[in-house]
Structure 1
């Protein structure tokens, strides 16, 4: 940046829909979007198992 007052900015990826159904356009997402969360799949599986157990309990 040649101008010291220039600020780095980021912009979200394009979205689809409006209001409550607004979401990121999956066709526009790349490896550069998102975060690194290697335990996400395991955490999701655990949450789903706990929900199933809670549904069975009276």
Structure 2
């Protein structure tokens, strides 16, 4: 008989890199892992209304204009 405690464990997705550069492997992630969050922008704007007039948003060295 299998150990019932084995059913209560989880396994993280595969990772790439080591140390500070360690990150989850995008090819190993799926909707089951909760990688999609379509309401993220709306939640951010609800939690940070004062940020609306800051202009373009900079992410990873690229400037992206905020949607109107």
TM interval, short-chain normalised: 0.5 to 0.7
Deviation at 1:37, TM superposition (A): 4.3
Equivalenced residues, count: 49
Partner SS state of residue 31, structure 2: coil
Aligned pairs for 1:1-58 (under 5 A) are 6-7=4-5, 8-34=8-34, 37-44=37-44, 46=45, 50=51, 53=54
CA RMSD of aligned residues (A): 2.9
Deviation at 1:41, TM superposition (A): 2.3
Higher relative contact order (CA 8 A, sep 6+): 1
More strand as a share of residues: 2
Structure 1 residues not aligned, in runs of 5+? 54-58
TM-score, structure 1 normalization: 0.57
Structure 2 residues not aligned, in runs of 5+? 55-68
